[in-house]
Chains A and B, each alone.
Chain A
């Protein structure tokens, strides 16, 4: 919440941004002296910064736009534009191995997200609430998967599931995905824990005590007070875990069996033969899906709660 005084300044700046300096200066001149240095929003009206903005935008999005554009290219090769078609989408959507890989990816992402959110949230709450011996060591160990190079994790998982705990073959869905799900949980739950811990820092513990005081048991207080407070971070953590799982290639590559190909691994193998627009179409669908998921998740979050009331 800003002090009343801040609102005036902010409103003036917004007015500047909307109407430009000439119109506003007349209106504002009586209210306050005009600044010589441009305000934070003023910079965006100067051409060097606008140019910079365009360059950054192109840098970020040109590859993606190219990918999407060529998914509509009526050519087997991805180099020359030969006309518009949606055939590649039809092909991608009827390619059973691609669809299976996509299905696997979604299942793995869903399962590992659920497990990661529960584990990560509980770990965060434990670290926040309790003091115990070896807490620092536990915290460090938990953050390891974040810093360990993915390739090492991948090899480690490969060795582990080959030697220490061989996973039985030919299991029914979703048990055949076990190794990948376990691997994904191990690298995504620390991210959830980090997000949830950050949110816990803003929790007023007397709220929990108030619930206890009003007759709630520890479990009821956890459910009625702490979980609602953590909700935005749980959603954010879940989203993070889901996307991490969905686009992981390295670790999945080492833990996937012949019948548990995921979407990124499948795309990689397709690309090894030739980069057809079918790959572009499939990738575009994945991008659209992730963007939609993000939008839905952001809608679902109450913006006031995110701000941390």
Chain B
């Protein structure tokens, strides 16, 4: 795939509204066939970037190439991309079939061919036989399918999706998530999705761009974003995390020790490559922390850590039992609160951990992500 030229390349794009830079010097490329997600909190510029791809906004600086061609000055109706709007924007005065046919009609596709492609697009989103309905006779989920079919009927090179699942209720969102993935698989075209929902991005995307205040913070696969965040912002935004501040005490090629106020000295089994005494941050995911009952006084020993490292004592303060797993709020002896997630692997083992139970928390030497800023 890397041998092919990218379908979209964004080079140094900045979009300013007055003094405010909604998108600030973003460069990235999207490959053919990717399911690409633009992820970030609201107001981070992800929607502006998507709208620039569609042609509804023009970059103040930089170039956007779609399929190798510079899009500068190309209006939305001449771009090989189609968009599914957050509000779906289904035309209320047209039947479902007319909605789907609209783009083809504008393009002058002959009636017979048009009808065939409308049928095909409706079948793709599992709305066969709904062509005669009016949009107000359809549910929100169905209207979204109409919007999808309408965009896909044009056979675009890239499909743009603006918060595609945000308006659906939780159950439907889950179902639609799988359906979007399989739809992309079927049609094989590039999807670019904007979302503020990290679950959505992690579940669907092949790669995600995390944005904050107009800037691109990290561009990576979902698992890299989660396991190897490049900043406190990404670590915090994707999933939940226990963030601990510390200073670099020892830094060798194969190991490092970071002194923290709250967790004591933390042992890391790789080099950090920083100056000794530098301020660092440890991002420790809740599920990467193990929980042991603290009935005696002997702390557990982790095979990859030296004795006495990466083990702290605390007391379970609160438990959120979620069925498949439990979330524990543990208060350490120094008052710091830590989140721990523990899968309920057997039908009894959660009985060992009840509120007020003294526990040991421990984590492997490779568990925390060490972040510079």
- Which residues on A are within 8 Å of B, measured CB to CB? 204, 206-207, 209-217, 220, 224-225, 228-229, 231, 304-305, 309
Contacts and interface: CB of A to CB of B under 8 A. Distances in A.
B78 to A, nearest CB: 8
Nearest to B85: A206
Contacts of B89: 204, 206-207, 209-210
Contact of A215 (B87, B92, B154): B154
Nearest to A209: B56
Nearest to A214: B103
Given A214-B106, A215-B107, A206 B87 contact: yes
Interface in B174-211: none
Given A212-B75, A215-B77, 13 more contacts: A206-B87, A207-B89, A209-B83, A209-B89, A210-B91, A210-B147, A212-B76, A213-B76, A213-B83, A214-B151, A215-B106, A215-B107, A216-B77
B93 interface: yes
B110 to A, nearest CB: 16
Nearest to B107: A215
B250 interface: no
B268 interface: no
Interface in B131-181: 136, 147, 150-151, 154
6 contacts: A206-B85, A206-B86, A206-B89, A228-B93, A231-B93, A309-B136
Contact of B102 (A206, A211, A229, A231): A211
A37 B81 CA distance: 60
A210 B85 contact: yes
Interface residues of B, number: 26
Nearest to A1: B136
- Per DSSP, are chain A's interface residues mostly helix, strand or loop, or mixed? helix
- Give the residue among B56, B87, B89 with the most A Cβ atoms within 10 A: B89
A305 B91 CA distance: 12
Nearest to B100: A214
Contacts of A204: 87, 89
Interface in B91-107: 91-93, 102-103, 106-107
Contacts of B55: 212-213
Nearest to B86: A206
B52 to A, nearest CB: 13
B127 to A, nearest CB: 17
Given A305-B93, A309-B92, A210 B83 contact: yes
B54 interface: yes
B85 to A, nearest CB: 4
Contacts of B56: 209, 212
B154 A214 contact: yes
Contacts of A220: 106
A206 B77 CA distance: 14
Given A215-B107, A224-B102, A209 B76 contact: yes
Contacts of B92: 229, 309
Contact of A217 (B77, B86, B154): B77
A207 B82 CA distance: 13
